[in-house]
Amino acid sequence: MENLRGTTFVVIDFEALTPAGRPAEPTEVAALALVVRDGHLVEDGRFESLIQPPSDVPITPRDLAHGMSEAALRRAPGPAAVLAGLDQNLTAPPYRLVAQHASTEAGLIARQRRHCPVLSSTPFLDTLKMAKQVLRGMSSYGLDALLRYYGIAQPVGRHRAMPDVEVTADVFRRLLCEGALAGHWSTLPDLDAAAGLRPKRETFIDVSVQDGLFDVRNT
């Protein structure tokens, strides 16, 4: 773990609307910063905000099933302001973004890259890829399956950005330690090789459905 001292791991999750025939539109983002202190990966701050979707994108009852309200979304700041606000906190590199099935988050960030140049140029670590290295033979590597494997309780507010970030951070800590003990990685380049995802440079169309640094709360 000490080999990772100096790197900030930013666990990130978006919730999004998935309108037919067009890219996903973010409705919420949460991020939790983790750093190595005294041999342990500890929280160093967090950020969360609702994000106003475009006015021509319908919000369905399914989109509101996990506690959002249409009124709150319609009065939330837009993605440019939210992603710029998050980006302004990224002032002490190096960073790695961490997400479950990270290509989804990478695609959403790539579409907003003009508003978040630091965030959009930061590589990802994918906990799904890490789990496939560490936990061989599982029938599923989705977040719910990993929570069951580790005996982590489903959070109140599952499928909201911050609760999902918190449990993903817990899974990441465990995978990081188990993978190091098994010899899969000990340095940041090892992690990049095993579970890395480079930033997306082109506009990414994603129409799939999502299965002290950031002391800011915008919701």
pLDDT tens, residue by residue, 15-62: 999 999 999 999 999 999 999 999 999 999 999 999 999 999 999 999
What pLDDT sits at residue 218? 45
> 4 φ, ψ to 5°?
-100, 5
Domain ranges of the chain: 2-205
What pLDDT sits at residue 159? 94
* Tokens (6 digits) for 29: 């983002």
Residues in the chain, overall count: 219
pTM summary value: 0.91
CA–CA separation, 154 vs 163, rounded Å? 9
Q: Up-side HSE of residue 214: CA atoms within 13 Å toward CB?
A: 28
What pLDDT sits at residue 153? 96
217, pLDDT greater than 80: no
CA–CA separation, 97 vs 110, rounded Å? 13
Residues 6+ away with beta carbon under 8 Å from 98: 9, 10, 11, 12, 34, 124, 125, 126, 127, 168, 169, 172
Pick 1 or 93 by higher pLDDT.
93
Burial of 67 (0-12, 13-18, 19+ CB in 10 A): exposed
Pick 200 or 8 by higher pLDDT.
8
Pick 141 or 205 by higher pLDDT.
141
Confidence of residue 213 (pLDDT cuts 50, 70, 90): low
Helices (H), 37-187: 70-75, 79-87, 102-111, 117-120, 127-134, 143-150, 161-181
- Asked if residue 9 lies in contact with residue 35, where contact means CB atoms within 8 angstroms, the answer is yes
Over range 184-197, report the average pLDDT: 97
Domain over 2-205 is classified CATH 3.40.1440.10: no
Confidence of residue 219 (pLDDT cuts 50, 70, 90): very low
* Tokens (6 digits) for 66: 């996990």
Name the helix (H) or strand (E) containing 96: strand 95-99
